[in-house]
Structure formats: C-alpha cells, structure tokens
A and B are shown apart, each in its own frame.
Chain A
C-alpha cells in the first residue's frame, strides 16, 4: 500500500526565514515523489518531482530512501510562498497518485 504522511498541518514562518515542510512515505517498491502547491483559489500545480532534481521558486527536495523522506526546503521564505503544499507518491503500473494531508504554509511579513 502507498502512504504519504505530512506531520504538520500548519506551518508559520517569517519572511526571510528558512522553511522545511516534512514528508514521509511508505511504499514497498521504488516510488516517484512529488510536491504540489495550491495557492488560494487556484488549481493544484506541480512544484517539483524528485527525478528531475530541479529547484523551482527556490524550493528543493531530496529523496532519502533510508529515512523514506522527501522534505521540501527553502532557505529564505517569501510572502508569496504562502499556500497549501501537498506531498504525493506514485508507484506501480497504474500511475495512481497518493497525496498527503497537506501543510498550510503561512509566511508572515
């Protein structure tokens, strides 16, 4: 079974502070991990995927298979980063995407 855990429902930081959104997963095979972002009243958007190893909007995430984690990090948070962030996992041939419960990030001025 696929499972994604985001332990923090809410996260509040000040502008310019580092931010880390935690994500742990459970999957028996080789998963593909994603981070999606949902800004207020907008559709879900892909932020990054582990296989591309890109840095989008200053965010990075490293897949740690030993700790089964895929934490999202940004060294200096901006107010426009305030949004809902979902970690997601895809595994198997059916391409089913399983989401974590999400973390609402608020960046205060």
Chain B
C-alpha cells in the first residue's frame, strides 16, 4: 500500500529559530500534498495545499511567510516553521494525494514544541 514518511516525529526548538518538517511519498508520486495542524483533542485543520512545481495555496488565516512550503519534487514536500514561537507548538500532519488509485495517505505527524 501507499506509504508517506514524515520526519522528524518530534522536535523541540528555541523561540526564534526555524524548523523544517519533511513529508515523502515512498512508493507513489504525489502532485498534491496537504499540511494540517492538530491541537490536542481537536480535529485536523488544513493549513495549506502544496502542489509540485508551483506555489502553495494557504487557507485563510495561515501566515504564508511563517509557514513556508516547498514541493520541489513529486515525492517530497517540506514545511518550514520560521521564527517559531511557543504558540506554534502543535502536531503537524502531512497528507499526500496519490490519485484515485492511492487516495489520501497520511504521515505519522510531527510534534513541535517551541520553548
């Protein structure tokens, strides 16, 4: 079956630094990937849609300069949280759309803690 690898699984960083999260589709190509944020005991909130070779589409209220998304290849999308602050601490999840054959496949998530 389709597998999406997301790294790191957890990261702790200092305020003001930047953190990069990677999302890779291992056995299929994904022209579209999605980045979600999940607060404790809450649902997944879509942050942005990442399309290979083009700019990401951000949801309303999501700062594009703070959450930089790069989708340089058909198997890799990255989310960089720039100048992180404690309020950015959350669980970030990526998902890859593999077409009608594979559907949506989710990464295991990244727990970000900003201290």
Q: Which residues of A contact B (CB under 8 A)?
A: 34, 36, 42-46, 49, 86, 90, 94-102
**Majority DSSP secondary structure for residues of B touching A:** strand
**Which one of B15-23, B39-47, B62-70, B71-79 contacts A?**
B39-47
Asked whether A43 lies within 8 Å of B49 as measured between CB atoms, the reply is: no
Across-interface contacts of B93 in A (CB, < 8 A): 43-44
Shortest distance from the beta carbon of A25 to any chain B beta carbon, whole Å? 14
Which residues of chain B from 101 to 115 have any CB-CB distance to chain A below 8 Å in the complex? 103-104, 106-109
| Cα A42 to Cα B93 with chains together (Å) | 12
Across-interface contacts of B108 in A (CB, < 8 A): 42-43
Across-interface contacts of A95 in B (CB, < 8 A): 32, 49, 97, 104
Asked whether A94 lies within 8 Å of B106 as measured between CB atoms, the reply is: no
- Which 5 pairs between the two chains have the least Cβ-Cβ distance? A44-B106, A43-B108, A101-B43, A99-B44, A95-B97
Which residues of chain B from 19 to 40 have any CB-CB distance to chain A below 8 Å in the complex? 32, 34
| Cα A86 to Cα B32 with chains together (Å) | 21
Asked whether A46 lies within 8 Å of B104 as measured between CB atoms, the reply is: yes
Asked whether A100 lies within 8 Å of B43 as measured between CB atoms, the reply is: yes
Asked whether A97 lies within 8 Å of B43 as measured between CB atoms, the reply is: no
Residue of A nearest to B36 (CB): A99
| Cα A102 to Cα B107 with chains together (Å) | 18
